[in-house]
Structure 1
């Protein structure tokens, strides 16, 4: 291996690591606020990428029907309670967000040639379809068992993951897809050629991380999520709704996942089940951060990306094994340096 190859591998590793960093941050956030190990995080990556691919092909993505079905379930669960607490006005608000909004998206994509839109508009439409699935999934699958043990929440996550993978196969088929690149430019830096798409991935990831830091540090909702992550009982006593915190957290997780899918779709072929493997690598980074530290999880993600890139060069057949083996020494070290506390019944 010469210097040029090492730099190319390093570029690929940092690019992939930027995506894993976003997913690791989402996993840490979801676990800190809701105690949910969010296995379906990777499915939002696949949903975002494949929804954009179908929009570019001029087809109606199946995710919009999933959004409508999930909205109907949310109305069935919350409609009567909304009518009792806020009257017809609150009920209409619930119906508007969960049924009228998906129907409007269906009408838009059925009767307007969205495949002729600029790429930025297509990305925005993709996010408008995929991101609302996050809080809906929380309301339907997690909120009813929000106070259950971490093990039960993990079982629910496995069930949601299996359901979302099956629905992805139904909606998108078994064939993989790629989307248009954000930029076809390339730059020469010494002996290395840097692609414009890699710069888009890294730059967007950094921008989103900074935006999340500002959100948690400067906004009332961000501070409410931080308070819930630090002390759930104390946050509840201060009037912060656990249900609102959960829905907002899952919306952010869906946003991060869908945006990650949009970013990597031009540089990798995405299949209906690709998100699971990508999400697992983000999970390895989150474990390095102890499912608690955002900076360490981000650094762990870069480590995972670089390790994967160099493993693909030296032992491509075993690169996944090498990456996931990284979790073993991390768990052993944390087991030896942490105090074990039994979870309260």
Structure 2
């Protein structure tokens, strides 16, 4: 291996690692606030990529009907809760959601999808995928808001399996790759830097800044931060765990869909590619101890670089090499962390 090859592999690794870092940040965010290991996070990325590919081909994506179906299910669950437990039913949210889905269906089936500018196609894709986050939380996790983490993990795995099956029905078995944001390239010494790499890295740093601003400067961000630090204390201060859960799933759907949109021009994604993507983000999150955002980001970028070099040296074993990284960190955590029995809530 000469220096030129090493530089190209490093560039590819950093590009993939930036995507894994975004997913790792999502995993940590959702886990610290809700205690849910979001296994189906990768499905948000895959659905985002395949929806964008469908829009660019001028074909209306059936994903909007999944959003409509979840809306009906959530409405029925809310009405049942109102009748059974005398809980409140917000008619304004119902009307707003119904109008949103109506506009989404109208846009998907009436607009000239293939002729839309790139930014319009991306916005339409995000508009179709982001509602799935809060909807999935309402359907599967809100009834279990006080359940133990093991129960939530089992439900998360089940949701992943369901979404993979729905992905096959909606998108079919064929993979897809989207158009590049730009075909430009730049010479940086001996390395030719692709503009797509710069877009991904820039998006990564922008998202880091946006998340920092959200958690440090906004009321909702501070509420989520308080919930992550002390769930019971935040609840006693009037912060609803259900609201916190829906907000974190909203953010997870947005970051997951954005990650899929960013990586789709450089790799072919299939309906079942989400599990591997989320697992690699999970490795980065474990390196960060499911707590530290900066360490998780560094760990995820390291995973991307190691994966890139593994593809060159031993492509048949690259997945094994990547996932073996998690073992020493788990051993180190088990030896250095004092075991504390889970608090009863």
Give yes or no for TM over 0.5.
Answer: yes
Let me know the Cα RMSD of the aligned residues: 1.4
Q: Tell me the CA shift for residue 276 of structure 1.
A: 1.0
Matched residue, 2:280: 281
Q: Tell me the CA shift for residue 2 of structure 1.
A: 0.8
Query: Does the aligned pair in 2 maintain the 1:23–1:257 contact within 8 Å?
Result: yes
| Separation of aligned partners in 1, 2:131 and 2:252 | 10
Matched residue, 1:31: 31
| Separation of aligned partners in 2, 1:111 and 1:208 | 32
Matched residue, 1:326: 325
Aligned residues: 342
Matched residue, 1:108: 107
| Separation of aligned partners in 2, 1:24 and 1:153 | 18
Matched residue, 1:253: 252
Deviations, residues 237-271 of structure 1 (Å, cap 9, x unaligned) = 11111110000000000011000000011010110
Superposed counterparts of 1:85-234, under 5 Å: 90-97=90-97, 99-234=98-233
| Separation of aligned partners in 1, 2:321 and 2:198 | 27
Confirm or deny that 1:59 pairs with 2:63.
Answer: no
Q: Tell me the CA shift for residue 67 of structure 1.
A: 0.3
| Separation of aligned partners in 1, 2:79 and 2:125 | 27
Deviations, residues 161-185 of structure 1 (Å, cap 9, x unaligned) = 0000000000001111011101110
| Separation of aligned partners in 1, 2:185 and 2:165 | 38
Query: Does the aligned pair in 1 maintain the 2:59–2:113 contact within 8 Å?
Result: no
The secondary structure found in structure 2 opposite 1:38 is coil
| Separation of aligned partners in 2, 1:276 and 1:95 | 35
| Separation of aligned partners in 2, 1:232 and 1:55 | 41
Matched residue, 1:49: 49
Could you state the TM-score of these two structures normalised by the residue count of structure 1? 0.96
- Runs of 4+ aligned structure 1 residues displaced above 3 Å come to 79-87
Query: Does the aligned pair in 2 maintain the 1:82–1:94 contact within 8 Å?
Result: no
| Separation of aligned partners in 1, 2:19 and 2:82 | 38
Matched residue, 1:235: 234
Deviations, residues 124-183 of structure 1 (Å, cap 9, x unaligned) = 010000011001100110010111111100000000000000000000011110111011
Q: Which sections of structure 1, spanning at least 5 residues, go unmatched?
A: none
Q: Tell me the CA shift for residue 196 of structure 1.
A: 0.4
Query: Does the aligned pair in 2 maintain the 1:48–1:258 contact within 8 Å?
Result: yes
| Separation of aligned partners in 2, 1:15 and 1:57 | 25
Matched residue, 1:313: 312
Matched residue, 2:296: 297
Q: Which sections of structure 2, spanning at least 5 residues, go unmatched?
A: none
The secondary structure found in structure 1 opposite 2:59 is coil
| Separation of aligned partners in 2, 1:218 and 1:16 | 30
Q: Tell me the CA shift for residue 210 of structure 1.
A: 0.8
Could you state the TM-score of these two structures normalised by the residue count of structure 2? 0.96
